Amino acid sequence: SRPNGSFVLSGRSVSPVSRKAEVKCSIAGTMIHAGSSLAGLAVLALTILVHEAGHYLAARSRGIEVDNFSVGFGPALWSFTPEGSRTKFTLRAIPLGGFVSFPPKTQEDPETGETVESDNPNLLQNRPVSDRVLVVSAGVIANIMLAWASLFVSVSAFGVPTLEYRPGVVVTQVLGPESYGAKSGILPGDVILSIDGETVQGGPGSAGDVASLIRTSEGRTIVMEMQRGEEVLNLDVKPKCCSPSGESLLGVQLQPRADVFRLRTTDLDKTISITAGEFMRVTNRTTSGLKDIVTNFGENAKNVSGPIGVVSMGADLARNDQASLLAFCAAISMNLAIVNSLPLPALDGGQMVFLIAEALKGSPVSTRWQEAVNRTALLMFLTFSGFLLFGDIAKLNLMKSLQQLFG
Q: What is the DSSP letter of 249?
A: B
For 165-211, the DSSP string reads EEEEEEEEEE--TTSHHHHTT--TT-EEEEETTEE---STTHHHHHH
Q: Measure the CA–CA gap between 388 and 390, rounded to whole angstroms.
A: 6
Angle at CA of residue 206, ends 203 and 207, nearest 5°: 135
Active site residue 52: yes
- DSSP state, residue 343: S
Closest alpha carbon to 180 in 148, 221, 139: 221
- Phi first, then psi: what are they for 42, rounded to 5°? -65, -40
What CA–CA distance (Å, rounded) separates 58 from 285? 29
Query: CB under 8 Å to 44, separation ≥6 — which residues?
Result: 95, 307, 310, 311, 314, 332
Choice among 52, 225, 247, 278 that is catalytic: 52
**What SS3 class is residue 16?**
coil
Backbone angles phi, psi at 344, to 5 degrees: -115, 140
Picking from 264, 283, 43, the residue whose alpha carbon sits closest to that of residue 161 is 264
What is the distance between the terminal CA atoms of the chain, rounded to a whole angstrom?
A: 21
59's enclosing H/E stretch is: helix 19-61
Give the residue numbers annotated as catalytic, written as ranges.
52
